[in-house]
Structure 1
Amino acid sequence: MIDSFALEPRAMTPADIPLLHELSVAVGWMHRAEDWATALRLGSGIFLTDEIGRPFGSAMWFPVADDLAMLGMVITTPRLQERGAARWMMDQILAQTGKRDLGLNATRAAFRLYLSMGFQPGLTVWQHQGIVTDSPAADPRVRPMRADDFDAIHALDTRAYTAHREKALNLFLEHSTGTVIEEAGRVTGYALCRRFGRGHVVGPIVAATARDAAAVTGPHLATHRGRYLRIDTRETEGDFVDLLNASGLAARDTVTTMTLGNPRPVDPDAHVFALAIQAIG
């Protein structure tokens, strides 16, 4: 019972995807049923329904590594947003995460809740999206991703992300087309593109510099010219952001990255320029 609402919490299963999709549509999220299926392959969560099975809330956690978990897919219907449902769900999720460092990307509506739970605010994530109107000339260092690049991509991603998100990255690689920057026989940057929401999303994008991030993103812009594309980034200026704006992908919305736990190490030669999905980072 949350105030006057009798709600039944249960563990999410694939059978709940139609109702979870209904819930996300009700609050204006772009996620398809297939995007929920991806989330359930990577994490677990709880789901609130009323006595006749109508969806009212959800929350998930993703065990990225032994020392890191991400929290996401936290939704409450407007009817419950002021009644403590989100806090109750988060308490249940945090009881499952153990002693891991925690991260999440907070909407404006949930920011104060996470702050009250001890999460510290970090950088803003800018959601660039729209119809691609232009694309840059090809960079000769960039080529299509091959299966024999996967080990190098995992190693590069681990340095940039600060944890080996093996399961998540393998899933993204399985469902994506990719580009890499190869210099002197070594992969120094990559970008993946896959179906998501209204169209396609490019992410993760990992590179050493903004120029390299722009270069490895360029072929995906060219492929999707005239179509909808989304890229979520914490960058606010430089070659990479200039490319997104020039290609028709303006910043439309924001969330705030928040963390609880120990600071993560920074590698100066590997940087996450775009998120895979907001729930995972």
Structure 2
Amino acid sequence: MEKAASECLVVDSVQMKIGNIADADLDRLHALSMAVGWPHRAEDWQFLRHVGKGVVALDDIGRILGSVMWFPHADNFATIGMMITSPRLQANGTGRWLMRHALTELKGCNLGLSATRAAHRLYLSLGFEAEKPVYQCQGEVIEPDMQLAMPDGAGLREVHPDDVSLLGELDRKAFGAYRLPVLAESLAHSKGFGLFRNGKLKAFALCRPFGRGHVIGPVVANHDQDAIAVTRPFVAEHAGRFLRLDTRQKEGSFAEFLSRCGMPVFDTVTTMSLGQRWIPEDSAVLEDRSRIYALASQTLG
């Protein structure tokens, strides 16, 4: 890990200083993500600030020229995201400078992130290792032609804030850390469905407003059939409208379901880690173990 970053940086005659993202102007954060073509609304930035921390790069008149955020999920694990630099400053060291601030704050933690193609080389140079691709599936959705039966012995119902501890325990087994604050904040902005067998939660999905429409995630389940069962109500509800879901499932009935519903793969990013491996190898995943079928977001994992 590199030494701590300085509080100031000069790039192309632009002098920048570090500021706390919690104090940053929300409209200027929104303008930053718009400048690089990211779909985040001001409300999406605010959601992330409620569950994470971060810094921004400010010029001498207070414009925001870069950002990075981190999200501690356990004592020794965090995800990093929203690493953005103004187009005029890309490839000039600003991203590395911001990342060094994040790595200093997270010293001793195992880390995970979703790397865009533009940032992939930077993360490799900082010691991150590639693990798995994430498939960004999106589009104006349609209901699939075939009617999918509810899995045997299962019942579906809406989940509410009072269910957050149930969701948190199932999610912990799949995600690898107990991220209750993220789930609680997500539930406050989401509609959710849970699949139950014999009174026990076996799968769930949340859906909230994001970007151009809505995003489904996280989706946690043991099997494709269960994952489809908790995802399908949102597809039906948003038929004809824009819907997004980020998944590591490349093949199988869940991936086929997404494509059939009008959510083909639009783009990919790469799951990367620093320290302990984040995503178990496929051969190490038990058949009946819960897994992440859809990320909460590329930033949160």
TM-score by length of 2: 0.89
Partner of 2:150: 139
Q: Which amino acid aligns with 2:10?
A: I
Residues 145-169 of structure 1, C-alpha deviations (whole Å, 9 max, x = no match): 2335332211100100000001101
Partner of 2:66: 57
- The one of 240, 243, 247 aligned to 2:257: 243
Q: How far apart, in 2, do the equivalents of 1:14 and 1:130 lie?
A: 34
Partner of 1:38: 47
Q: How far apart, in 1, do the equivalents of 2:169 and 2:191 lie?
A: 18
Moved more, 51-60 or 37-46: 51-60
Q: Which amino acid aligns with 1:45?
A: G
Return the offset for 1:144.
2.4
TM-score by length of 1: 0.95
Moved more, 236-245 or 1-10: 1-10
Following superposition of structure 1 onto structure 2, how do residues 17-96 of structure 1 map, counting pairs within 5 Å? 17-96=26-105
Q: How far apart, in 2, do the equivalents of 1:216 and 1:113 lie?
A: 37
Q: What is the number of residues matched between the two proteins?
A: 281
Residues 65-117 of structure 1, C-alpha deviations (whole Å, 9 max, x = no match): 11111100000112111110000000011100131110000000000000011
Q: How far apart, in 2, do the equivalents of 1:146 and 1:103 lie?
A: 28
Return the offset for 1:255.
0.6
Moved more, 138-147 or 152-161: 138-147
Sort the Cα spacing of 1:6 and 1:68 in 2 relative to 1 into closer, same or farther, 3 A: same
Give the alignment's Cα RMSD to 1 decimal.
1.5
Say whether 1:259 aligns with 2:273. Answer: yes
Partner of 1:113: 122
Moved more, 144-153 or 212-221: 144-153
Partner of 1:129: 138
Partner of 2:11: 3
Q: How far apart, in 1, do the equivalents of 2:22 and 2:202 lie?
A: 38
Moved more, 188-197 or 132-141: 132-141
Partner of 1:199: 213
Say whether 1:97 aligns with 2:106. Answer: yes
Q: How far apart, in 2, do the equivalents of 1:150 and 1:40 lie?
A: 20
Unaligned runs of 5+ in 1: none
Question: What percentage of aligned pairs have identical amino acids?
Answer: 45
Return the offset for 1:49.
2.2
